[in-house]
């Protein structure tokens, strides 16, 4: 695993140099801004790609369908994200998400009632929203009844998909349809509220990450279909602003800020000593990432990430016959900054890379010995191995493929690599409790996606 990660690292370094060198080979001019645009591929290919991405069916499905498909796939590997929640905020329980999901709807009706002109007349808007709500509610409730997925807190069998997320993103898309024409910041605000609702469902331990992803996709797609059906019924009647989405007509990204989420893999085997060895499994990483582009191709940026990698101890150390060992996760928080690179494939698709360096903190953890008390039959835990907090430097790179969906929305898939020399200090609770040291050079790969605000 370690050699494979190193090969990926060398490939990404090569790609960074390739990205910078290849941009000079093709040059066209953007008609709206008269800005020189250099594409990675020939001029005809971007035009073909643009025809597809500008099509009506693509505009209706390019966010919702990937969310539904990805969420369905993540359903088979959903535990790592819950482990991240349990490691960092295990006692988080707040009920504000029951009301937060309706905020875009309240804003929509309130602004309309106050006389702020929107895309549609009252009749057309209410018809569109009624179709949207009916489609969303029917889809979510039928799926909940058929699938019978248990909630992560074990309370019920109606976890998949998330109704709160579906409602929140349906409401946000309604608000975007009606008021995004006035300013893209209305749309950004609505989708920020919807995202906060979905994240809160995860933090409250009420849903798996797959639940909220599929719920969000259903909410968006239901609204797209609801407005499409209303458009067929009303035609141009009651339509105040026919074009409610901003077209991408320029070539350079000025800045972006987004939510980062991915699956993280480390070397399968970590050895602290000949007797103390750990096996790792796929974990998760979440955080925020942003960059400012000085030119269309080069920028500076930073990321703040929290990771949790499950570990299982594989040791020859003896424990009582009625006990077993339980390992904590390898938890880190890292912050990095450096150079970001972007190369347009077409006016909406971009190939990206980055070279970063920064600072991190290993949260410390350990191994517990666990047994059931013979008298009370209650579970008892005791320290077996303790690992100390440690600070470390890290360096990394990555490759990404971005889709510039709207003027202020960028979706990105990525593969990131990090390397970090970590000095792990530990002691055995049954021994002298004096710390021993183990120097580790840890490599990791993160495969994931991010949704970004662009301005």
232-258 pLDDT, tens digit per residue, is 999 989 888 765 444 444 445 568 999
* Confidence at 191, pLDDT banded by 50, 70, 90: very high
pLDDT band with cut points at 50, 70 and 90 for residue 315? low
Is the pLDDT at 60 greater than 60? The verdict is: yes
At residue 68 the predicted structure's pLDDT band, cuts being 50, 70 and 90, is very high
Query: What CA–CA distances, in Å, run from 27 to 23, 37, 358, 441?
Result: 8, 6, 35, 43
- Indicate the pLDDT class of residue 414, thresholds 50, 70 and 90: very high
Helix axes 103-113, 184-203, angle to 10 degrees: 150
Both tokens assigned to 447: 């495969």
What pLDDT is stored for residue 403 in this prediction? 87
Hey, what are 33's tokens? 């801004």
Beta carbons within 8 Å of 57's beta carbon, 6+ residues apart: none
pLDDT at 409: 80
Mean pLDDT of 153-163: 93
The DSSP code for 92 is -
Q: Between 328 and 2, name the one with better pLDDT.
A: 328
| 207 or 28, higher pLDDT | 207
Instruction: Give the C-alpha distances (Å, rounded to integers) separating 345 from 42, 131, 350, 351.
Output: 9, 37, 5, 7
Share of the chain above pLDDT 90, in %: 48
Asked if residues 447 and 283 have their Cβ atoms less than 8 Å apart, the reply is: no
Share of the chain above pLDDT 70, in %: 84
Of 62-71, 100-109, 283-292, 432-441, the least confident? 432-441
Residue with tokens 């903190």: 361
Closest CA to 14 of 254, 418, 353: 353
Q: Specify the range with the lowest mean pLDDT, choosing from 75-89, 165-179, 233-247.
A: 233-247
- Asked if the model's pLDDT at residue 272 lies above 60, the reply is yes
3-state helix vs strand vs coil in the chain, percent to 5: 35, 35, 30
Q: Ranked by mean pLDDT, which of 1-5, 206-210, 280-284 comes out on top? A: 206-210
Give the end-to-end CA distance of the chain in Å, rounded to a whole number: 39
* Average pLDDT, integer, range 130-134: 97
CA atoms within 13 A on the CB side of 354: 28
Token digits for 28? 């066209």
Helix (H/G/I), strand (E/B), else coil: 367: strand
Maximum Cα–Cα distance across the chain? 82
Read off the pLDDT of each residue in 183-199 and give the average, rounded to a whole number: 91
- CA 72, 136, 96: angle at the middle one, nearest 5? 85
Backbone angles phi, psi at 112, to 5 degrees: -65, -45
CB atoms under 10 Å from CB of 36, counted, come to 12
For range 25-53, the mean pLDDT: 54
Of the candidates 243, 272, 258, the residue with the CA atom closest to the CA atom of residue 410: 258
pLDDT at 56 exceeding the cut of 60: yes
Q: Which helix (H) or strand (E) holds 358?
A: strand 349-362
Query: Alpha-carbon distance 292 to 401, whole Å?
Result: 17
In the predicted model, what is the mean pLDDT of the chain? 84
pLDDT band at 23; cut points 50, 70, 90: very low
Does residue 12 or residue 211 have the better pLDDT?
Answer: 211
Element holding 225 (H helix, E strand):
helix 209-234
The CA-atom distances, in angstroms, between 308 and each of 148, 277, 282, 286 are 28, 18, 9, 9
pLDDT of 340 strictly over 50: yes
Q: What is the pLDDT of residues 390-407, one digit of tens each?
A: 899 999 999 999 988 776
């Amino acid at each position: 695993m370690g050699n494979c990660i190193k090969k990926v690292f060398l490939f990404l370094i090569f790609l960074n140099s390739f990205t910078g060198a290849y941009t000079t080979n093709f040059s066209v001019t953007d008609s709206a801004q008269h800005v020189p645009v250099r594409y990675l591929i020939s001029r005809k290919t971007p035009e073909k790609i643009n025809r597809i991405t500008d099509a009506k069916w693509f505009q209706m499905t390019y966010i919702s369908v990937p969310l539904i498909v990805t969420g369905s796939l993540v359903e088979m590997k959903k535990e790592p994200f819950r482990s991240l929640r349990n490691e960092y905020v295990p006692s988080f329980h707040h009920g504000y998400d029951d009301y937060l999901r309706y905020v875009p709807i309240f804003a929509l009706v309130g602004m309309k009632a106050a006389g702020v002109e929107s895309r549609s007349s009252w009749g057309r808007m209410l018809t569109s929203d009624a179709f949207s709500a009916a489609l969303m509610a029917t889809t979510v409730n039928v799926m909940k009844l058929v699938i019978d997925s248990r909630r992560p807190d074990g309370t019920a069998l109606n976890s998949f998909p998330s109704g709160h997320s579906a409602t929140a993103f349906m409401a946000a898309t309604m608000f975007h349809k009606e008021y995004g024409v006035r300013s893209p910041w209305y749309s950004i605000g609505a989708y920020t509220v919807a995202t906060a609702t979905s994240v809160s469902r995860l933090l409250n331990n009420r849903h798996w990450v797959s639940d909220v992803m599929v719920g969000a996709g259903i909410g968006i797609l239901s609204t797209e279909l609801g407005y499409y059906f209303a458009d067929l019924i009303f035609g141009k009647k009651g339509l105040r602003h026919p074009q409610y989405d901003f077209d991408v007509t320029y070539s350079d990204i000025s800045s972006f800020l987004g939510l980062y989420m991915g699956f993280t893999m480390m070397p399968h085997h970590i050895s602290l000593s000949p007797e103390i060895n750990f096996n790792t499994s796929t974990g998760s990483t979440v955080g925020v990432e942003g960059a400012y582009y000085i030119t269309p191709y080069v920028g500076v940026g930073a990321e703040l990430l929290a990771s949790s990698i499950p570990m299982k101890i594989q040791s020859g150390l003896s424990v009582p016959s009625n006990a077993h060992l339980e390992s904590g996760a390898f938890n880190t928080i890292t912050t990095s900054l450096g150079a970001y690179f972007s190369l347009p494939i077409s006016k909406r698709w971009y190939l990206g890379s980055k070279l970063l360096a920064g600072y991190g903190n290993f949260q410390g953890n350990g191994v517990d010995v666990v047994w059931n008390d013979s008298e009370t039959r209650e579970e008892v835990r005791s320290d077996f191995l303790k690992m100390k907090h440690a600070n470390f430097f890290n360096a990394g790179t990555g490759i990404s493929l971005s889709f510039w969906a709207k003027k202020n929305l960028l979706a990105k898939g990525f593969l990131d690599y990090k390397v970090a020399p970590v000095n792990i200090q530990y002691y055995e609770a049954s021994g002298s409790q004096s710390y021993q040291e183990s120097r580790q050079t840890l490599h990791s790969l993160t495969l994931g996606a991010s949704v970004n605000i662009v301005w």
